[in-house]
């Protein structure tokens, strides 16, 4: 797909198309943070995405005191299966210190962990 920016509706259509295909990761590129948030809202409110439940924002979520996860990306809101990332999304900032091949090198993005186990990244503001 390259780094060409899509309008929010095109990006959402691309995500929905690729959700039906094999592969774990989906990346799309839009022009601004507002556009990325439009795509996020479109996806997490769609009938297809919410079949197994609602999505929750885990950006900067603080873990409860004294509890640790074996995976620093997992969240502990309480309850059985709370350690899973499915059904969550968060904002990630670009990190010039990230390891080679890490998606944080590409730029700021919203990352969605779908109930199907796919990871959607909506990159914004790259141009």
Taking alpha carbons only, the member of 11, 54, 57, 15 closest to residue 31 is 11
pLDDT of residue 106 exceeding 80: no
Ramachandran quadrant class, 90 (left: phi over 0; alpha: psi -120 to 50; beta: rest): beta
Output the pTM of the full model: 0.79
pLDDT in tens, 21-48: 999 999 999 999 999 999 999 999 999 9
- Which helix (H) or strand (E) is 16 found in, with range? helix 8-19
What is the per-residue pLDDT for 3? 57
**CA-to-CA distance for 30 and 1, rounded, in angstroms?**
12
pLDDT of residue 77 exceeding 70: no
What is the per-residue pLDDT for 40? 98
* Averaged pLDDT for residues 85-109: 81
What is the per-residue pLDDT for 73? 47
What is the per-residue pLDDT for 80? 43
CA dihedral for 70, 76, 78, 80, sign (positive or negative): negative
């Amino acid at each position: 797909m390259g780094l060409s920016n899509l309008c929010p509706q095109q990006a959402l259509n691309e995500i929905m198309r690729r959700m039906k295909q094999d592969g774990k990761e989906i990346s799309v590129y839009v022009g601004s943070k507002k556009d990325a948030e439009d795509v996020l809202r479109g996806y997490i409110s769609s009938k297809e995405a919410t079949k197994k439940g609602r999505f929750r924002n885990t950006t900067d979520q603080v873990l409860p005191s004294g509890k640790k996860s074996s995976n620093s990306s997992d969240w502990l809101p309480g309850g059985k299966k709370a350690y899973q990332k499915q059904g969550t999304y968060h904002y990630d900032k670009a990190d010039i210190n990230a390891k080679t091949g890490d998606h944080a090198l590409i730029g700021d993005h919203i990352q969605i962990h779908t109930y199907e186990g796919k990871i959607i990244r909506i990159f914004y503001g790259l141009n």
